[in-house]
Structure 1
Amino acid sequence: MKILFIRHGETTDNLRHVYAGVTDSSLTSHGVLQTARLATHIGTTIPPLTHIFSSPLSRAKKTAEAIYEEQKKVRVSQKRSKQASAGQADEEEGKGKDSAADIPETATSSSTSINPILSEDERAIEYDDEEEEAGEAIFFKIDADLIEQDFGSYEGEQFLTATPKKNLKKRKRSDSVGSGPGGSGGSAAGGSGGDSKKRKSDDNDLSTTTGATTTTTDVEMTAGEEGPLTGSTDTPLAAAAIPLPEEEEEEEEEEFREMETPASIKARADSFIRRCVIPLLPGTPILLPPSLASHNATTGNSQDPPPENSSPVVAIVSHSMLLSWLWKSFVALFPPSSVLATTPVVQKGWYQGKHPGWGNTGYLVVEVLPKGVVNKDGMTVVIEGVNEKAHLVGLRRTGGGVGSEKWDERQSKLDGFFGKKEK
């Protein structure tokens, strides 16, 4: 069994260096090229995939779909190659029995992979039908447990310097909330205490005028438990309140929303491994933590397990944080002595217990060997690649800012959008 843990392509929020956990950030034009390179690379270096799992967020889903479409072409190509080989073998066997002169010219046409009599349009339809049939042989599933960590109020904020984003909502203000002379001041209209909220006028200050003197004062807005919003200032002019129109609206900040906890992310990762990976393993894991052993655990995702396959090749397309938790849940199934790494991986600096990382369209690939192949007591995991990005070698960002822009989905072909096709 082979498993690929794949990260999605580059997104607009990746370039902005902001938290985009559950935010449905779009792929950039460069990100679409990355996914195309990835799909072709997997199709030429990895055995045909039998299972593809993806996060429901579009950046991961579109990456998975690119892989899926390429896998259908790979299967059709392999099928035609086998048919051509079988036809050639039958033809050679027939020549040994009969003279080639006695065989009609059209007798061997049925053994070829493509009927030469068909027009190009008919061949295209035939190829589409073959692709559809090939696609049915691949188990493609969108799984809610593969969604990225929810960063709460930090969604959309920049890394390291992030401050909680103020999610604003509208609410009507009561007549009892007025402004001072000229409509610029606030008034105290009663109401009990509550959570304090800062409000400022359009120029961030509250300006009041007395004769030739102008002062600037912030207004402290307080939400009463039962009454309307009330304001209080330290200027005597604020006492003279003039009611505002009833329909005028005030922006109020929502409460701070916490990011998803590690326990919640772990529960989702465990759920996916338990439902979708363990049933495909070539044996029963020796180590089975309670969170992975219990089939009664509820995480809001009760999807059926994937169909079994004699030699599954699985692609899991998700996000960097979630992939890290998936890896922890997966490795927890095996004793440390059963997790090995190939020489190239070790040379790249991998060591036992190291936390892997994922760049855009980077992938970690492992081979799970059955009991007895390496270890007589159980399965063995061989790490064949960590953050593999050989498919991106030589790929350059399209100039003029085009590569960094959101991918225009109205473009039907990459060639039409990016110009000359790469060689």
Structure 2
Amino acid sequence: MRLFLIRHGETVDNVAGILAGRRDSALTNHGAEQARRLSDYLAENRTSLTRIFSSTLQRAYKTASIVAAKQTTTDLTVSTVPYLIERDFGYYEGKTNRVRKGPDAEEHKKEPGFVDVESKDELAVRADLFLDLHLLPLLDDEAEFGGAAEHVVAVVSHGILLSSLWRRLLLRLGPGSVTVARDVVSNRGPVVLAHLGGWSNTGFLELSIQSVDPELGSELSPADAGSSPPESDATVNVSTLDSPGNSPGEVVPPQLLTESSGIEMPTDQSDVVGDVSVTKNAINAEPSEKEGLRLLEGYRTTILIVDGQQHLQGLKRQRGGIGRAEHDDKQQSMTSFFKKARKD
């Protein structure tokens, strides 16, 4: 499986700097253009999507619809899933994060009808439901065909939910089964597993989840051959990277940080599978977090791109407040308007 976890385009509430949460905040004109750029990029540089899932909120659904429009897959539709909606900020929706984390937080709880922020545990439950009911069955579908057919899946959602979704997926992956592509290591440096980096508007996390032939041990299955994107065609062993302060060729241990402590922790070298490798200890999960979870044994996962923004290179916001205004599907961009005018 090739998996893209994508955040929606810029919204009116993003521009205003307020917490949108369950509010159905609309895309801005700039946000719609970000989605179009992403749509073009995926259509031109990746294998066609076979499935696309989206939050039910319009900012995610419209982003997903724009992405789907350029795909060549027959009968590809956007499947909306309520589990993928953004965190419920309760009382604080429509307010700034400064208000939420300000000195009057305890006083807010005394307000009539106060609703607290959705907890991380509640987010995790929704993420697990999506994985178990929608995503992991697609891996079973691939297995039935013996790896001859690969799903290419896009999940369009919201930054906080996507972070929870990635972490819940990470908890299911086997020891030493996660590798990191060369570009991720060279561009981002230390890898923080549980927090790979915030999702920018239309930024995406790209993963390859491939079945490993048990007879080959750590070797890749045929389905994994050539699965890396053009700009990231290899994985790298961080222990051989040169870094500031180190002599060329000096051994540098992989830098994996735990979620709770933030302390650097080298991976267990016995779990290294030729590339940057991840042990379950790097996640620092409580045993209770893994109870009842379906673990992905026999799969190798490669982190190919983190917060991908290649499609946004050269994109400029329309001036005069137009870019920040709410997008209307009937509107034209200034570029398309003038192109049409020249044809007339």
TM-score (norm. length: structure 1): 0.55
SS at match of 1:281: helix
The Cα of 1:316 is off from its aligned counterpart by: 0.1
Q: Is the 8 A contact 2:142 2:150 kept in 1?
A: no
1:30, 1:312 → 2: CA distance?
Answer: 30
Match of 1:150 in 2: 88
Identify which range, 400-409 or 145-154, moves more after superposition.
400-409
Instruction: Note closer, same or farther for the CA distance 1:139–1:27 as it changes in structure 2 (3 Å cut).
Output: closer
Q: Is the 8 A contact 2:167 2:194 kept in 1?
A: no
2:300, 2:328 → 1: CA distance?
Answer: 44
Q: Which of 313, 318, 321 pairs up with 1:398?
A: 318
SS at match of 1:161: helix
Match of 1:66 in 2: 66
Match of 1:161 in 2: 99
Cα deviation code 1:7-29 (max 9, x no counterpart): 00000110111110000001001
Match of 1:268 in 2: 126
The Cα of 1:68 is off from its aligned counterpart by: 1.1
Match of 2:279 in 1: none
SS at match of 2:307: strand
Larger Rg, first or second structure (1 or 2): 1
Matched residue type, 1:390: Q
Matched residue type, 1:314: V
Q: Which of 139, 143, 147 pairs up with 1:281?
A: 139
1:374, 1:48 → 2: CA distance?
Answer: 30
- Match runs of 1:330-369 below 5 Å: 330-347=169-186, 348-351=188-191, 353-356=193-196, 357-369=198-210
Match of 1:380 in 2: 300
1:20, 1:415 → 2: CA distance?
Answer: 28
Q: Is the 8 A contact 2:9 2:59 kept in 1?
A: yes
Match of 1:258 in 2: 116
Cα deviation code 1:15-56 (max 9, x no counterpart): 111110000001001001000000010111110000000000
Match of 2:333 in 1: 414
Q: Whose strand fraction is larger, Structure 1's or Structure 2's?
A: 1
Q: Which of 326, 340, 344 pairs up with 2:165?
A: 326
Instruction: Note closer, same or farther for the CA distance 1:365–1:254 as it changes in structure 2 (3 Å cut).
Output: same
Instruction: Note closer, same or farther for the CA distance 1:32–1:401 as it changes in structure 2 (3 Å cut).
Output: same
Q: Is the 8 A contact 1:282 1:370 kept in 2?
A: no
The total of aligned residue pairs comes to 251
The Cα of 1:336 is off from its aligned counterpart by: 4.1
Instruction: Note closer, same or farther for the CA distance 1:410–1:346 as it changes in structure 2 (3 Å cut).
Output: same
The Cα of 1:141 is off from its aligned counterpart by: 0.8
Matched residue type, 1:142: T
Matched residue type, 1:141: S
2:175, 2:18 → 1: CA distance?
Answer: 35
TM-score (norm. length: structure 2): 0.67
Identify which range, 371-380 or 354-363, moves more after superposition.
371-380
2:138, 2:180 → 1: CA distance?
Answer: 21
Q: Is the 8 A contact 2:5 2:154 kept in 1?
A: yes
Cα deviation code 1:146-181 (max 9, x no counterpart): 0000000000111223479xxxxxxxxxxxxxxxxx
The Cα of 1:339 is off from its aligned counterpart by: 0.8
SS at match of 2:218: coil
Q: Which of 184, 187, 211 pairs up with 1:370?
A: 211
SS at match of 2:122: helix
The Cα of 1:261 is off from its aligned counterpart by: 1.4
SS at match of 2:70: helix
The runs of 5 or more residues in structure 1 that have no matched partner are 76-133, 165-252, 286-307
Q: Is the 8 A contact 1:280 1:309 kept in 2?
A: no
2:85, 2:150 → 1: CA distance?
Answer: 27
Match of 1:29 in 2: 29
2:316, 2:63 → 1: CA distance?
Answer: 19
Instruction: Note closer, same or farther for the CA distance 1:384–1:259 as it changes in structure 2 (3 Å cut).
Output: same
1:62, 1:309 → 2: CA distance?
Answer: 32
Q: Is the 8 A contact 2:21 2:89 kept in 1?
A: yes
2:39, 2:118 → 1: CA distance?
Answer: 31
SS at match of 1:398: coil
1:371, 1:317 → 2: CA distance?
Answer: 28
- Match runs of 1:221-300 below 5 Å: 254-281=112-139
1:318, 1:366 → 2: CA distance?
Answer: 16
2:130, 2:81 → 1: CA distance?
Answer: 8
Matched residue type, 2:132: R
Instruction: Note closer, same or farther for the CA distance 1:397–1:416 as it changes in structure 2 (3 Å cut).
Output: closer
1:394, 1:374 → 2: CA distance?
Answer: 44
1:262, 1:360 → 2: CA distance?
Answer: 22
Q: Is the 8 A contact 1:30 1:404 kept in 2?
A: yes
Q: Is the 8 A contact 2:142 2:151 kept in 1?
A: no
The Cα of 1:263 is off from its aligned counterpart by: 1.5
- Match runs of 1:45-194 below 5 Å: 45-71=45-71, 74-75=72-73, 134=74, 136=75, 138=76, 140-162=78-100
The Cα of 1:310 is off from its aligned counterpart by: 2.4
Cα deviation code 1:224-266 (max 9, x no counterpart): xxxxxxxxxxxxxxxxxxxxxxxxxxxxx63211111111111
1:309, 1:149 → 2: CA distance?
Answer: 37
Instruction: Note closer, same or farther for the CA distance 1:157–1:388 as it changes in structure 2 (3 Å cut).
Output: same
Supply the RMSD in Å over aligned alpha carbons: 2.8
Identity within the alignment, %: 37
Match of 2:255 in 1: none
The Cα of 1:349 is off from its aligned counterpart by: 2.3
The Cα of 1:410 is off from its aligned counterpart by: 3.0
